[in-house]
Every structure is written in C-alpha cells, then in structure tokens.
C-alpha cells in the first residue's frame, strides 16, 4: 500500500456534501429531526466514593449543554438519588441549579448498611431522551459496627478477552488493526499483559502489550485458510483465545492520525457487481450536527478520505458508512482534541492560621473577569476513597457517546500527552458502535414530553374571596409578594419558586381596609415528587475492591464515641456560627440589632408591643397600625421608615397584629442616618425567617400550605472524624474537607481553609469550569510538614 502521506498530493481535502438521493436525504433528515431538541449532560463531583457511616456525601453538580459543552442556563432543578444494590431509592434530594451548577450534602445515616450503592443525578429534561446523559457513580458504604473486614474474595479466575477489528470486522488479505481488551468479570482490565497472536501452524504473526487498563492493539494481515488465536498468561494460568470477525468480503475502515489532518482508508472486497457499483455515504456526527460525503469503489477497491481536523467536531466524531439502501455497515469513533481546553491547577501555597491550614491556588490560563467555579475535595495523600472513574471532561466529552463503562476514563483527560491520545484511540476501537442506534435515530426521534424545570410552580385556585389582593409570605429564596387578581379571575400562579427544606407557602387575603384574613383557596404544585428515570440504563463500574478496614483489628473501637462526639461538635459548631453571625450583623449597622433565637420569649409578642419598648408609640386601635417616635429627629416627621425583608413599606397595614414568631432580627436606627427625609422617626428594618413561623393557629390570618417537594439547602460540610483520628485508618479512609464553591478573586486565585489534622501530606482533587466554559480537572499533592 502506498504511504498515506504521499497520497495527500493527489487528494482533495475538502469535505463535500453527499449526492442527493432519497435514501441519503432520508438519513440526514432523520438525524436532524432526532437531534433537533437540545440535550443536557450532567457530571457530579463527589468528595470521595468510599464513605464511613456517619459521614456526609458532599457533591457539586455541573449541568452542561451536550452540544456546545457550555453551562446549561435552562435547567434550575436537579434530582439526586442514592440507590442500593436492589435499585431501591435510599435518599433523594432536589437541588437548585444556578449558572449551570449546584451543590448539596447527603448524610450517610441509619438507612445505610455496609454495601454498594449508586449515586444518580438527572434533570427533568433528560427524561425526553434514551441517551445516557444522566450521571451515575458507584459508592461504597462501610458501617464499622457490622463490618470487621472486607477482603477480596478468592474466586476462580474469570477472564473476558476480546480482540475486535477496527470498524467491526477484518478482511482476508487486507491489513487490519485489532483492538485488545482483557478484563475480569467485574469489568476491570488486567494491566500490562504481554501476548502473542499465532496462526493455525503455531507461527507468531503479531504481539501486543496492554496498558494499565488491559487495553492494547496489534496489526494483522489475515490469510486465506488460516485461523488465528491470541495467547497470554495471567497468574500463571495460560489462555488461548480465538480471534474472530475475519471475513472474505465486505468493507473495512482504517483510521490514521496525521497531526493536523485525519485520514480514513476504506478497503473493499466486493464479489457482487452491484455492491461495487453502488455509491456509499460516509457521515460524521457529534450527536448534534452531521456532515456527509460520498464513497465509491467503482474505479478501485480502496478509497481514501482526508479531513483537516478543523473541519471535524471538537471531541467525539462518529464516522458511519451506509450502503445505497441506507443500511449502516461500519462505524468508527474518533476523538478530536482540537479546541478542547482542559486547564490544570497551579502549585498550591499554604499558610498555617491558628488551628487551620489555608490553601491558595490558581488555574493556569484563568481570566478572573469571566465566570469561574471550582470544587475541591481535600483528602489524605494515602487515601483509598477517591475511586471515581470519571472527571468532568471525560463524563461530558466521552461517556455520552459510548455504550460500555470505561475504567478510569479521567486518565485520558488529565495531564494530556500524545501517548494518552493514542491510548484513548485504542479504547475507542474496542468500543465498537457508538451509543447512537441508527434504527432509533431513523424511526423513534425523541418526543417533547418533559420541560426544562425552573423551580416549583404553585397554582392557587380561588374558591371564594372578599377582595382582589393576596399577600404571599417570603421564603429563603423568594421575596414577599402582593398578587392582584381580576374580578373574574379564578386562578393565579407563580413559577421560579424555590422553597427549601420544611418551608411552607404562606398566603393571606388582604381586605380593602388592609386587614388580613384567611384565604379560601386550593393550592397545587408542580412538580410534587422526584420522578423516576425510566430510560435505558447503562452499566456502571463499581469501585475496585480493596481490603477495607484492614488496619484495624476491631473496627468499632476506631469509632468509639464517634456519634456522640459528632453530635457534640455539631452543637459547638452551630453555637460558634451563631455568635459570628450576631457579631457580623451588629458590625454592619449604626443602629441596634436584636436577634431572636428559637427560645427567645419575645417571639410570642406582637410587633407593636416590641416596638413600644424600643422608643416608639404604637396604636393598633380601629384596625390600623400607627407608629411615631417618642423623641423624633424632625418636628415635621415623627414616623419611622420601616423596611420589611428589604422592601420599604408605604402602607403599614401589613404590620397590623404582626406576630414576632417569624422574625429573625430587627435593626433599629433611631438617628435616621442614611434615611433622608424619611428618617425623622428613625429607621426600622425587620428581617423574617419563614422557617420559624408558627403553623396556622386560632385566628391567625396568614395560612401556611405544605409543599410536597422542596429544595435541599446547601449545608456546610462537616467532618466528624478528626476526634477519632487513629493514624493509618484515618489516612486511608478519612475525609479532611470539602469545598464545593471555591471563590476566585480578582487576581485569579482561590482560597479555602480546613482544620489542621497534623497529616504530613494531603491531596486535592479539583474540578470546575473557568473562563465561562472551559474545563478544569487536576489533582495536587501538598506537603504540610
């Protein structure tokens, strides 16, 4: 065969549109219809993948547009579930997505036992498609009270060895590339095996070596009348595996990477004249867009197409060859690294501050003026708990396009080298056909049934009413609101409602005189539950087995006092947090601040009673709320300016018989400084916390309606294990800290702190998006001693 580089002189390098034919048009039209709806893909960065009961699963989700690889700004709702080995949902959460990201915590509590679980995450929009765009990762949970030691079981050696010709089959008399993958029964490759390929006569005709994941390749020129087999040895056991998929006629495809170009060599052995005379169509797509070019074997049994890489899609390119009847006859996947930006972190700098370690780092090539978001897991250097097979780039750029699970896919997308690009191509040879099934593409395009969700929608039906105005109480993520309805209007609704945890929807009818009354309404919500994901699921690799708890003779002793210490420390941590919050509030105002804790007796007061003890005269007779300062700053205006949850009130009827049970804190600035002419009677700022509000009792006019599905709040990660630190065990299985939202300052640096456990070396696992929509994935070892 003439070298491909020489043939470049005689080839036109431009991709051309395939000839218009009814069959070709139908394939292109079908694909465009199939890919018309945009797709999302989600990756979740977990702080680790092996957890001790009592810890928390920290996670940060990245939701991207599958085509552009940019953060999805459409979806606001993300469903996260943890399932046991029977696919039963053990934990479930709804988290809020902002700017394409969101984070949460799931407590590994009494519902968990020692075993394997799967963390799954998806959006409502993903339910429109059969493609594996959702996220799923295996978790290992250890309950020290029931687990003495998990040892790798000694089983009879089972080997799954496959030798797969490039593009699906090889031809006699044609040089072919075979992909090699040799793995165990759980899907993990046997590393660094050396093997040979022999013909019927026992003559060695090729050899191969696998990489650390049991993957390799070899070239073979099959001959007529010969059979071939591969031989290799594992644990002193010899294996002899026949090599199949060698045929007498058909078409093969060989891919050659030519630096800035990509060459595809098609060889045909077609005995039937009609097969040689027909025009074939080669398509290339990335799941969103498609291009096509004609292939013909009428003049020669070999056809060569060369494409500049700039004409290909960044990331995965799926090449498919169709015959004139529109039947796909071969497929080859190729990953184009052009225009794929994956950044690395700089070497971290450390400072010791009191009992903490402060870590500062940056990202190479980061521009602070763009949107940047990073998540960092802090683990001991000797950890055996970070076993994720994917990182952010591999899960979004590779995983949605292949059918089988990939061991340690993140390897190909960190510290990238030409060698890793070559190994990734070997992997793609062994994957065969892509996750896109042409029969589905042509006959079953997705149907738009499920929306992009943007919070909770509530729909209020008015059964009866005396006025046209309603008050909606504030929640943590939504301000209070007044709704005015028309005379004939029977329903009003609101989107983008983001209640958290046990929050309720508070509604009151506001009469013409400003008085509140209990509304006569019926409230509905959408969504009301976490929907199941019913698409065709793909298999997930478990964590690779290791000897868990091996270093501890009695595991329970390592956790003696674990739960009691954890509870005590959480209380102390909460009290410390409260103290810092009160101090911050008082330092941010020129006035006085009263903070009302849960056990504050003043929460049983009316607001009028409280303000009467703070220098104001308040009158609530005749159904109105009238207030003046006893010692005003202005003779012309003794009425204070009152803000409720940041809104300046021009009508005080809202405060009539206002109970203090929902008040978080009140700031009173008697001097009126900063209030202008409104400050003659001072400034009063009332901030409520709806979670503290009492349920509807007796004559209360604000009625609280339960919400069946709420968002989970993003709590602070807390590690309970440092009080039970016992050396080797903690170094192997402990978690130091988790920072899902590291803020990048104007100099392009991120800083975070964690408790100084006295561990000599730590390891940081970093994922994220920088410069708006470029990937970050890296790990760094940091010496502390």
Q: Is 479 helix (H, G, I), strand (E, B) or coil?
A: coil
Angstrom distance (rounded) from CA 739 to CA 58:
9
pLDDT digits (tens, 9 = 90+) for 33-71: 999 999 999 999 999 999 988 899 999 999 999 999 999
Summary count for the chain: helices (H), strands (E): 10, 47
Strand order across the 737-742 sheet: 342-343, 774-783, 761-770, 373-380, 737-742
Tell whether the torsion through CA atoms of 492, 498, 501 and 506 is positive or negative.
negative
Residue 16's pLDDT is: 42
pLDDT (tens digit per residue) in 275-292:
989 999 999 999 999 999
Is residue 181 a contact partner of residue 162, using CB atoms and an 8 Å limit?
yes
DSSP code for 259: T
Kind of pairing between the strands at 101-107 and 40-46? unpaired
Q: Tell me what pLDDT residue 755 has.
A: 87
Whole-number Cα distances in Å, 490 to 487, 520, 526: 9, 12, 18
pLDDT, residue 570, reads 45
* Prediction pTM value: 0.82
Phi, psi of 609 (to 5 degrees): -65, -45
Lowest pLDDT segment from 1-15, 185-199, 611-625:
1-15
Tell me which of 192-196, 504-508, 637-641, 742-746 is least confident: 637-641
Cβ-based neighbours of 404, under 8 Å, separated by 6 or more: 431, 538, 539
Confidence of residue 675 (pLDDT cuts 50, 70, 90): low
Q: pLDDT by residue (tens digit) across 634-674? A: 777 888 989 888 778 888 877 888 888 888 899 998 887 76
Which residues does 146 contact at the CB level (< 8 Å), separation at least 6?
A: 113, 114
Q: Strands 159-165, 176-184: parallel, antiparallel or unpaired by DSSP? A: antiparallel
pLDDT above 90 covers a percentage of the chain that reads 64
Q: What is the DSSP letter of 213?
A: T
CA dihedral sign of residues 633, 634, 638, 644:
negative
760's CB contacts (< 8 A; 6+ apart) are: 381, 783, 784, 785
Q: What is the pLDDT of residues 295-325, one digit of tens each?
A: 999 999 999 999 999 999 999 999 999 999 9
Q: pLDDT tens digits for 367-413?
A: 999 999 999 999 999 888 998 999 999 999 999 999 889 999 999 99
With DSSP H G I counted as helix, E B as strand and the rest as coil, what are the percentages for the chain, rounded to 5? 15, 40, 45
Question: Using H for helix, E for strand and C for coil, what is the string for 390-448?
Answer: CCHHHHHHCHHHCCCCCCCHHHHHCCCCHHHHHHHHHHHHHHCCCCCCHHHHHHCCCCC
Buried b (16+ CB within 10 A) or exposed e, 372-405: bbbbbbbbbebbbbbbbbbbbbbbbbbbbbbeeb
How many angstroms separate the CA atoms of 59 and 50, rounded?
Answer: 13
Task: Give tens-digit pLDDT for 114-126.
Answer: 999 999 999 999 9
């Amino acid at each position: 065969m003439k070298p491909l580089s020489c043939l470049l002189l005689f080839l036109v390098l431009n991709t051309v549109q395939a000839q218009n034919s009814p069959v070709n048009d139908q394939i292109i039209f079908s694909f465009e219809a199939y890919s018309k709806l945009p797709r999302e893909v989600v990756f979740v960065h977990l702080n680790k993948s092996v957890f001790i009961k009592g810890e928390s699963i920290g996670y940060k989700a990245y939701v991207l547009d599958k085509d552009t690889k940019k953060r999805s700004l459409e979806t606001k709702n993300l469903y996260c579930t943890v399932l046991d080995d029977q696919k039963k949902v053990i934990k479930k959460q709804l988290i809020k997505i902002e700017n394409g990201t969101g984070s949460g915590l799931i407590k590994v509590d009494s519902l968990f036992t020692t075993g394997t679980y799967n963390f799954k995450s998806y959006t409502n929009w993903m339910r429109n498609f059969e493609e594996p765009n959702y996220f799923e990762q295996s978790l290992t949970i250890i309950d020290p009270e029931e687990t003495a030691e998990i040892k790798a079981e000694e089983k009879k050696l089972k080997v799954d060895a496959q030798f797969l010709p490039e593009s699906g089959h090889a031809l006699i008399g044609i040089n072919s590339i075979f992909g090699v993958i040799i793995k165990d029964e759980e899907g993990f490759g046997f590393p660094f095996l050396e093997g040979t390929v022999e013909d019927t006569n026992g003559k060695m005709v090729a050899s191969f070596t696998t990489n650390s994941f049991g993957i390799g390749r070899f070239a073979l020129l099959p001959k007529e009348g010969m059979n071939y087999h591969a031989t290799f040895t594992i644990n002193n056991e010899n294996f002899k595996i026949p090599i199949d998929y060698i045929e007498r006629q058909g078409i093969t495809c060989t891919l050659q990477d030519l630096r800035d170009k990509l060459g595809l060599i098609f060889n045909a052995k077609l005995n039937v004249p009609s097969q040689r005379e027909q025009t074939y169509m080669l398509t290339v797509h990335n799941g969103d867009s498609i291009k096509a070019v004609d292939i013909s074997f009428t003049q020669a049994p070999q056809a060569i197409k060369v494409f500049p890489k700039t004409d290909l899609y960044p990331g995965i390119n799926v090449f498919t060859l169709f015959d004139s009847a529109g039947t796909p006859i071969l497929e080859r996947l190729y990953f184009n690294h052009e225009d794929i930006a994956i950044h690395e972190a700089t070497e971290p700098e450390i400072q010791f501050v009191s009992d903490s370690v402060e870590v500062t780092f940056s990202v190479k090539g980061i521009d602070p003026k763009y949107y940047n978001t990073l998540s960092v897991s802090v683990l001991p250097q000797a950890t055996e708990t970070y076993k994720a097979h994917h990182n952010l780039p591999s899960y979004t750029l590779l995983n949605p396009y292949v059918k089988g699970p990939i061991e340690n896919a993140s390897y190909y997308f960190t510290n990238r080298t030409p060698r890793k690009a070559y190994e990734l191509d070997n992997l793609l040879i062994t994957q065969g056909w892509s996750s896109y099934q042409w029969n589905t593409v042509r006959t079953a395009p997705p149907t738009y049934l499920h929306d992009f969700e943007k919070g909770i929608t509530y729909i209020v039906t008015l059964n009866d009413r005396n006025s046209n105005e309603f008050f909606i109480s504030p929640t943590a993520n939504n301000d209070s609101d007044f709704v005015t309805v028309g005379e004939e209007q029977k329903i009003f609704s609101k989107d983008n409602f983001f209640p958290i945890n046990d929050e309720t929807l508070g509604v009151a009818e506001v009469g013409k005189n400003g008085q509140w009354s209990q509304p006569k309404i019926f409230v509905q919500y959408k969504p009301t539950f976490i929907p199941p994901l019913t698409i065709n699921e793909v298999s997930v690799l478990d964590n690779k087995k290791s000897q868990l708890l091996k270093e501890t003779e009695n595991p329970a002793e390592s956790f003696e006092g674990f739960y009691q210490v954890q509870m005590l420390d959480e209380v102390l941590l909460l009290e410390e947090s409260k103290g810092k919050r009160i101090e911050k509030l008082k330092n941010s105002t020129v006035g006085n601040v009263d903070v009302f804790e849960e056990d504050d007796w003043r929460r049983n007061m009316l607001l009028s009673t409280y303000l009467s003890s703070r220098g104001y005269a308040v009158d609530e007779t005749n159904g109105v709320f009238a207030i003046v300062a006893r010692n005003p700053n202005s003779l012309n205006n003794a009425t204070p300016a009152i803000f409720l949850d940041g809104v300046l009130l021009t009508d005080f009827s809202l405060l009539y018989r206002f109970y203090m049970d929902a008040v978080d804190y009140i700031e009173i600035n008697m001097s009126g400084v900063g209030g202008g002419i409104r400050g003659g009677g001072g400034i009063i700022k009332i901030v409520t916390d709806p979670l503290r509000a009492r349920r509807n009792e007796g004559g209360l006019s604000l009625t609280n309606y339960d919400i069946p599905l709420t968002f989970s709040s993003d709590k602070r990660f807390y590690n309970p294990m440092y009080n039970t630190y016992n050396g080797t065990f903690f170094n192997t299985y402990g978690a130091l800290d988790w920072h899902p939202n590291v803020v990048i300052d104007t100099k392009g640096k991120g800083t975070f702190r964690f408790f100084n456990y006295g561990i000599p070396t730590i390891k940081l696992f970093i994922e994220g998006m920088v410069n708006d929509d470029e990937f970050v994935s890296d790990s760094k070892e940091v010496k502390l001693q």
